[in-house]
Amino acid sequence: MAEIGNKVKLNAGWLAARSTEVNLTGTQLTTTHPPSITPSSPWMEASVPGTVLGTLVKNKVVPDPFYGLANETIIDIADSGREYYTFWFFTTFQCKLQSESQHLDLNFRAINYSAEVYINGHKKVLPKGMFRRHSLDVSEVLHTDGKNLLAVLVHPPDHPGRIPDKGGQGGDHEIGKDVAAQYVEGWDWMTPIRDRNTGIWDEVSISRTGPVKIIDPHLVSTFFDDYKRVYLHATIEIQNRSSWVSDCSVKIQVTAELEGNICLVEHLQAQKVSVPTGSIIQYTFPQLYFYKPNLWWPNGMGKQYLYNVVISIDVDGFGESDSWSHDFGFRKIESDIDPATGGRLFKVNGQRIFIRGGNWILSDGLLRLSEKRYHTDIKFHADMNFNMIRCWGGGLAERPEFYHYCDIYGLLVWQEFWITGDVDGRGDPKSNPDGPLDHDLFLLCARDTVKLLRNHPSLALWVGGNEQVPPPDINDALKSDLKLHPHFQPSENNQLMSVLSLTAEDPSEYLDGTRIYIQGSMWDGFANGKGDFSDGPYEIQYPENFFKDNFYNYGFNPEVGSVGMPVAATIRATMPPEGWRIPLFKKLPSGYIEEVPNPIWDYHKYIPYSKPCHVQSQIELYGSPKDLDDFCLKAQLANYIQYRALIEGWNSRMWKKYTGFLIWKTQNPWTGLRGQFYDHLLDQTAGFFGCRCAAEPIHVQLNLCTYFIEVVNTTSNEISGVAIEASVWDLEGMCPYFKVFEKLSLPPKQTSSIAEMEYPTYKNSKPVYFLLLKLYKVSNDGIISRNFYWLHQFGGDYKKLEPYRKINIPIQVTSKVNIKGSSYEVRMNVQNNSKNAESSRLTYKNNFINRQDLGDLDSNSLLLENKEQTNEKCSTSFFSKIWRRGSIENNSSRLVETNGNDVGVAFFLHFEVHDSKAEENEEGDTRILPVHYSDNYFSLVPGEAMSINLSFEAPPGVTPKITLHGWNLSQSFTVC
């Protein structure tokens, strides 16, 4: 039963059937002949929200299209016709109104592509467009007994297109004629989606109101006096659905959550408003004043403070008629072109932010979207220390749940509209340059999307399209609709801007007005700013290339990418045995090695680890792989190096040449084999942790071109009283080079060059060696940043690491496990127990510290590594709530160690979590996923110890087992 002001989601109990197999009308289905599942009926359990193909996969009518070559066995809509994927969806819901003044709305947050809705025998038509909301007042057709029948006939996009033999970007581009996601005809990273995502793909709900309804509130904050004086502006639309003038009390309440789940009401204001009968009016509240509120900051710059804003309406003679609530962050985002670099520059709350982030398509290619999955996705991005996600134009206008977690974890969002050059003006065959056929529909969907998302503090900018500008009339309309309010226009004269904003229209009366609109992803400060395809590259590189001055010539690269092979367990879980064959390594006459993948890898868009005549195989550097496990492990070594070097190369020229970059791409919406930091099953590659290392707010690194040690300080504070410890270790466990650089001061927002590494020029330097860099506070030896490299001499390789796998390093692991229901939080202390005279004389007393000790620096995205502290990620983390409440059901400790007797670096250690019983019975993929790690794929020099935190949720009835693997552990061993 929907209460006033609260929606009830209709996400269970749905049935579905192909329309051509149902010989009943919508009226019959919702009156005399409601469907049921029987052996002879076409009806099956449906996925809502979801798609037709998702429902067919769920019921095993078709195989999993993400497994092996199974997608090739599923009929494509181009061959079947649109009717084949036109489906009925049916459910019932319980609701009846308690008075004639009440109204019930049936809400569809998105349908692809059009639909006919039947409720209790009454028909309503939902117009076209994948990205628009529909709200139907169904008050007059509800059954008096409260049981209501709902049937929805969903039609696919009008122009689903055909997949050419050569495939290509967006198939034959016909999908671009509709206002819909364009990736569904396939891309160089994605196989075609056979139903083109037809379905009720987003939330369905019912909501009850009184005679007056609140529509699309808009919240805006303005700042003065160096962010000390802040105003909250709010504008709403009010609809009076009664037959009389409604006298209302309109209230706004702002609440702050304090420690211990205590809430403080910061503001409560009520105003009298009269709304004429049958009308919709716009009402703007008097602005609310705040003095020094807590601000919302991006990941790595500060905390993500959120206030709760509640707007409600009481109607005289009726009572509460409607209410609306939203979490809101006080922050100001500004953007302009940086005169020093020519790149797009972003400021948040007056502070420059160096953008380090990634491109995002969508969570799942079959639109099996869920709040839980979104939580994991966004937390993974925060765990990598990223601060921006770009929602690519060929994908989705992302959902409020996506933005909710971006708000919580501090990920700025670049949201693109549904234009991409491959489908809107170029390609083979040549695509339609004029965008969708219905420009008015496109603009209607765009404006509705703005209203849906504009109150999220994480939303940073709107972009017209990917590698393309929208058609002139659409582009001009978007520029007009999304023009900035004077307060948010860039200006050097803040006092003048303050005067202008006070005399201008209230900013909350704009459609948005707080964020810039950029016409395309390579215009106006992105790439070369002219749309000349100056983004990329997208392939394997020599690590040192990223540091070269000529690697990328422009200030902000919106797409730069590389490899992304997952671990072997993922290959086995997503492919039949014939897909487990590793590539053939074919030596060309030039001496370069070409990789020839098996057909299944090729279908899954594998991108090689070599680029003939340009980049030698980064797998073969370690020796020829023997099997799938060996290949995937060596791929992880390359993944780690590749992405750490990519980010460190940009770090090295922060603000001198670059203002930011976005990696293409962070994940795959299916079981792809390229450009990803975690796979579709939610297991991280080593590249994930290479990014995590390199994108630290304060980071010590080695410039792979100059061999200078550098420190990157992206914070607003000078860091003083710190030192750098640099040590080189050889394969015999000796330390031929050790040096401490003391009395360092690191300026804010700057990369500082400290000193040149001398070791590679030593007379007897080794062909393969390890380098450990530690930036630490002198006062307490607390490590701020730690970075471990494996390196070879110029022109060499890593083949000497192959025999290094045979040594046996003694490892000690102390684990502490906290369990609350199915949630686990585990702290591992891992120590390399090998010692010799060299290691015993060196300092290993450094402790990992909370980066917040350095001032106003945020460490929300970093799991604390101090042995005396616990992990408190953020107030929404259920693991941190477990710690604070102290209500742990199970708390156990354990110590295990190996019997190794060799001395050396414990190399490339990584944890995995498995279902212990399934593993004993060899029941397929036994991994428990996802797992959040404070670090993984790490190495320890002799005598060194490190704390690693793990958090995960185990399925019911599953006993998790945590194992530690390593390059030179004789075998993996169970630590918990």
Three-state SS across 145-174?
CCEEEEEEEEECCCCCCCCCCCCCCCCCCH
Q: What is the pLDDT of residues 112-147, one digit of tens each?
A: 999 999 999 999 999 999 999 999 999 999 999 999
* Cα atoms in the 13 Å half-sphere on the side-chain side of 673: 30
Indicate the pLDDT class of residue 887, thresholds 50, 70 and 90: very low
Backbone φ, ψ for residue 99 (5° rounding):
-160, 165
Lowest mean pLDDT among 516-525, 571-580, 965-974: 965-974
Evaluate whether 364 touches 399 at the Cβ level (below 8 Å).
no
What was the pLDDT predicted at 39? 94
Strands (E), 531-668: 556-561, 584-587, 593-596, 660-664
Rounded Cα distance, 475 and 471, in Å: 6
Name the token pair of 434. 């004029």
DSSP secondary structure of 923-940:
-S--B---EEES--SEEE
pLDDT at residue 377 in the model: 98
The closest alpha carbon to 10, from 131, 148, 103, belongs to: 148
pLDDT of residue 767: 95
677: alpha, beta or left? (left if phi > 0; alpha if psi -120 to 50): alpha
The more confidently predicted of residues 898 and 525 is 525
Residues paired with 892 in a beta bridge: 817
Q: Which positions are annotated as active-site residues?
A: 467, 559
Which pLDDT score is estimated for 257? 84
Give dist(CA 185, CA 167) in Å, integer.
8
Share of the chain above pLDDT 70, in %: 93
Write the burial class of residue 367 (CB in 10 Å: 0-12 exposed, 13-18 middle, 19+ buried).
buried
Helix 686-694 to helix 628-652 angle (10° resolution) is 20
Find how far residue 673's CA is from the centre of its chain: 18
Report the amino acid identity of residue 688: F
Q: Any long-range contacts for 860-863 (C-beta under 8 Å, 24+ apart)?
A: 860/299, 860/303, 860/304, 860/382, 860/409, 860/410, 861/299, 861/300, 861/382, 861/383, 861/384, 861/385, 861/409, 861/410, 862/385, 862/696, 862/934, 863/932, 863/934, 863/949
- Quick one: what percent of the chain has pLDDT higher than 90? 84
Between the two ends of the chain, the Cα-to-Cα distance in Å is 46
Show the tokens assigned to 519: 């016409």
> In a 3-state reduction of DSSP, which class is residue 749?
coil
pLDDT per residue over 760-807, tens digit each?
877 788 999 999 999 999 999 999 999 999 999 999 999 999 999 999
CB 906 within 8 A of CB 729: no
What is the model's pTM?
0.94
- On the question of pLDDT at 370 being above 60, the answer is yes
Q: Rounded to an integer, what distance in angstroms lies between the CA atom of residue 394 and that of residue 187?
A: 10
Handedness of CA 625, 631, 633, 639 (dihedral sign): positive
Instruction: Tell me: pLDDT of 520 over 50.
Output: yes
**CATH numbers and ranges of domains, the chain:** 6-156+195-209 (2.60.120.260), 212-317 (2.60.40.10), 374-533 (no CATH), 696-800 (2.60.40.10), 811-855+888-974 (2.60.40.10)
Q: What is the Cα–Cα distance from 261 to 255, expressed in whole angstroms? A: 12
pLDDT tens digits, 816-871:
999 999 999 999 999 999 987 666 555 555 555 543 333 334 433 332 333 333 33
Q: What is the dihedral of CA 926, 928, 930, 934, to 10 degrees?
A: -110
